[in-house]
Amino acid sequence: MAKFNGRLEVLALSAVHQHPDNIREDLGDLTQLSGEIKSLGLLNPLLVYPHPDREGDYVVQDGNRRRAAAAQAGLTEVPCVVLPEPTEERGARADIETMLTTGRNHRPLSEAEVSKGIQGLLDLGMDITTVGKKFKMSRKEVQARAKVAQKNDGVSKAYSAGRLSLDAVQRLQELEEKSDIPNLYERAVERIEDMPNGASVETVERVITETEMSIKKSQRVAELKELDAKEGDYEISYSSGWSAVEDEMTDEEHVAAGHKYRFNYRDPEPVWYAKQKKAKPELTEQEKRDRETQNKLKSMLKIVQRSRIAFIKNAFETVKPSESLAKDAIAKQINSVVRYSEEGRTILGDVVGIKPPEFDGTPASSELLDRWNDEMHKHLVRQSLAYLGMLLAFADQVSVEESLGKLSGFERSGFENHRHGSRWKSAHDYYNFLTEHLGYELDIDEKLAMEYSAMNEPHRNRELDLVPLPDEVTATCGGCNQEVVADSEWSGLCVDCDGENE
């Protein structure tokens, strides 16, 4: 047990001073706390240590709000735990750590105050990893908080005012560091600063997307003006005399052909229109409104999609995973894998103790199979995640079992170095799963079947051998000089080099 070096004393309030570097920028409403102190006294002593510049006075390490509330309640003396004078190496860091810890446990610190404390610890030499471990923050969060505390720009001000969440700030920091589009960060921040109710990470992503499209559109307009391209009026997309050009052409080719361009809502790329030789039927007013709505939605849905993906990414980083959801998803996948494999259903049914029905494709047998799947699902979701993960890995490969009751299931091929060139690759992976994860040991007849099939195919991929052959030795490939396992009929080249020669 750690030794406690403090001593309890009652000190004059005038001799106890608020910490000069208190990370809490706002002590908040002290009315309730001062009322309690006035009625009951200060029940929780202040944590203080000797003032470095004023002899006989003290500095508050923990309890700045209680000290202010005691003064408001009219107390002249306060109980304190007096700590030894801090060392030069440890003192400032200990103060900030205490403020961060107690401030987050009692009246919560603001996000900006926490970030200020984090940056203070980094300035005093504590590394990012240690800060993260002490305050249960990811490395990414520590870096983001430190960066926002260092700057005094619009993002930091919006964050300090509570109008931007930390994940929204992180997205903007990422944009500032990685964007190769001129002024994208500055223009996006300008829009966000004007939002009185702040912005979530999804809103920030939407603003970034809209701003990016606006910048690209301006760039394209400038490029088209340089070519003296003609812009179509508002009615061109509805006009019976013009139709959209479907062929892929350069801007120069469009201009030379006399085409006109028109931008749809926020799209950064123009739609080109060609003059119709034969006029199309005129659109009705309702058809024009429908087309306008369609064009607008096509543009906006691209923006919404990016915002939605940003939300999904953030959710996977912040939302606590649901074990029941994971079990449900794995159980469904296991059932899906074996549903149409008779061998798979039979073996899986034996494994879990729920015998599957006979399936002949009739509606009645399909209904029985559905009931079996439901029963299997209820059983599986009660199992552990580790068990379900192992069972899913097994279910993904169990269809191979059907072929391994015949010698043809062990047949080797000269195309095993190709990705999809051999059934034996699947059998090899299945056996590896059984031996490595279930502790299976090969039967003597399985070994003989593997040896027999391997010896009948000298051009097989020897990396897929599961048993050594009696006459094989280690040799050097004449093509690439790598060491390989060879037998008496070896051609002198490894599988890769031999395949290249073919």
Cβ proximity of 131 and 118 under 8 Å: yes
What is the rounded distance in angstroms from the CA atom of residue 472 to the CA atom of residue 485? 6
What pLDDT score was predicted for residue 2? 43
Q: In what order do the strands lie in the sheet with 260-262?
A: 230-231, 260-262, 271-275, 242-244
Classify 160 as helix, strand or coil: helix
pLDDT value for 471: 62
pLDDT value of position 104: 44
Q: How far apart are CA 247 and CA 446, in angstroms?
A: 61
pLDDT of 252 reads 94
pLDDT at residue 216, rounded to an integer: 93
Contact yes or no for 21/61 (Cβ under 8 A): no
DSSP states of 1-38 as a string?
-PPP--EEEEEEGGGEE--TT-S-S-----HHHHHHHH
Q: Could you write out the DSSP letters of every residue in 57-118? A: -EEEEE-HHHHHHHHHTT-SEEEEEEPPPPPTTTHHHHHHHHHHHHHHHSSPPPHHHHHHHH
Q: How far apart are CA 188 and CA 83, in angstroms?
A: 49
Q: Which residues pair with 77 in a beta bridge?
A: 12
Write down the pLDDT at residue 394. 94
SS3 at position 140:
helix
Q: CB atoms < 10 A from the CB of 95, how many?
A: 25
pTM of the model: 0.54
Give the pLDDT score at 389: 94
CB within 8 A of 470, min separation 6: which ones? 451
Residue 71 to residues 80, 81, 301, 327, 393, Cα–Cα distance (Å): 14, 18, 58, 57, 67
Provide CB contacts within 8 A for 117, sequence distance 6+: 23, 96, 99, 100, 103, 109
**Nearest-angstrom CA–CA distance, 431 and 467:** 12
Q: Please give the pLDDT value at position 414.
A: 82
- Specify the pLDDT at position 460: 86
Distance between CA 39 and CA 175 in Å, rounded?
53
- Per the CB < 8 A criterion, the answer to whether 392 and 334 are in contact is yes
Distance CA 202, CA 139 (A): 22
User: Diameter of the chain by CA atoms?
Assistant: 101
First-to-last alpha carbon distance for the chain, in angstroms, is 75
The amino acid at residue 295 is N
Distance CA 387, CA 430 (A): 17
Contact in structure between 132 and 143 (CB atoms under 8 Å): no
Between CA 354 and CA 365 the distance in angstroms is 16
Contact 287, 140 (CB under 8 A): no
Q: Distance between CA 239 and CA 19 in Å, rounded? A: 73
The pLDDT tens digits along the chain (502 residues) read 345 567 888 889 999 998 877 767 677 778 888 888 887 788 788 888 888 888 889 988 888 888 988 998 899 998 988 888 876 545 566 667 766 665 444 556 667 777 777 887 787 778 888 888 877 888 878 888 888 787 777 788 777 777 888 888 888 888 888 888 989 989 998 888 878 777 888 888 889 999 999 999 999 999 999 999 999 988 888 887 888 898 889 999 999 999 999 998 888 999 999 988 776 777 888 888 888 888 888 888 888 888 888 888 878 877 888 999 999 999 999 999 988 888 889 999 999 999 999 888 898 989 999 999 999 999 999 999 999 999 999 999 998 998 999 999 999 988 886 655 578 999 999 999 999 999 999 999 999 999 999 988 888 888 899 998 766 556 677 778 777 666 556 667 776 777 655 5
Nearest to 354 by CA among 327, 335, 328: 335
Tokens of 460: 């097989």
Output the CA torsion 179→181→186→191 (10° steps). -100
